Amino acid sequence: MPLLLAPMEGLLDFVLRDVLTRVGGVDRCVSEFIRITGTLLPDKVFLRYVPELHYGSRTLAGVPVRAQLLGSDPVCMAENAARLAALGPEGIDLNFGCPAKVVNRHGGGAALLQDPEHIAVLVAAVRRAVPTQLPVSAKMRLGYHDASLARECAQAMADNGACEIVVHARTKQDGYRPPAYWEQIPAIQAAVSVPVVANGEIWTVQDAQRCRAVSGCHALMLGRGMVADPGLALAIRAADAAASGQVPEAALVAPPVQWPDLWPHLASFWQLVCNHLEPRQRAGRLKQWLNLLRRRFPEAEVAYQQVRTLTDQRTITTWVQAQQPR
């Protein structure tokens, strides 16, 4: 069963993609959105968001990365998609799900779910602009105010060239509040002939199993759940293997990734943050990840409290080095 890593602006960028794909279990990633606002972007912008384009559009662990575009003007989106395609991405994904007010105010992201005809024109324009062998996929929510146009929006995407649709099973109005309405996905899946991927509120193996059963989807996209538990994809695969009789259930007593296993990845993450991000962003990014890890690992609570007030890079580096298992 394919497991995809979600795009999350300000959180799941190329640094965390690199680290999480090293942990394992992920089949494909999608970049955080590249916003298209009326100009033809230079190559350096695409490369800043998706530096994996330097390496065949794969993370250093070898996992493919699909680049995501967000915009509402079909001509400009098509022109930028063509330029991006020349850099050799694994594919191009179109964002119809971002709930941010500044994005929606300009007619992008989830705001487009109010206008299936506009979606159709936009997807068709991008599909025509890039080589036929390059996948063009889409990510949507159930709708803007409600889910009344969900099937029409999905059909507009699939009928005009989208080869796959990820459905974040909440509306824009729902934001990120639980629950995710997986039970609404089968109607969308029945309305299109392309694969549909379920996304939203998958924090545990049990969530993944329930989502798969309720949604009927062939694949899942993991977001915050994978950030909070970097071993989630491996755990899902282990549970599937046990269910199919490939491995004994006793092998699943301990989770695939425990806190001591995670420390080399945290150290790598901190090194990448220091190497690639602006100084003002560095301490905050480590605290942000530790904050989410608290949901899964009791040890992360202790670590978070130890670094919560630290801001100096050298002090944090010393702290990271002191945490390494002996």
Report how far residue 218's alpha carbon sits from residue 201's, in angstroms, rounded to the nearest whole number: 17
CA distances from 110 to 10, 135, 311 (A): 18, 22, 36
Q: How many CA atoms lie within 13 A of 191 on its CB side?
A: 17
Tell me which residue of 231, 218, 224 sits closest to 200, measured CA to CA.
Answer: 224
Q: Which domains does the chain have, with CATH numbers?
A: 3-251 (3.20.20.70), 259-323 (1.20.225.30)
Average pLDDT on 197-209 reads 97
pLDDT tens-digit map of 67-102 = 999 999 999 999 999 999 999 999 999 999 988 888
pLDDT tens digits, residue range 205-254? 999 999 999 999 989 999 999 999 999 999 999 999 888 777 665 555 55
Q: How far apart are CA 108 and CA 198, in angstroms?
A: 22
- In one letter, which amino acid is 286? L
Q: What does the pLDDT read at residue 218? A: 82
Given this model, what pLDDT does residue 243 score?
A: 84
Structure tokens at 90: 């694994």
**pLDDT for 100:** 84
Distance CA 200, CA 193 (A): 22
* Catalytic site residue from 29, 76, 98, 217: 98
Active site residue 98: yes
Q: What is the pLDDT of residue 248?
A: 62
311 three-class SS = coil
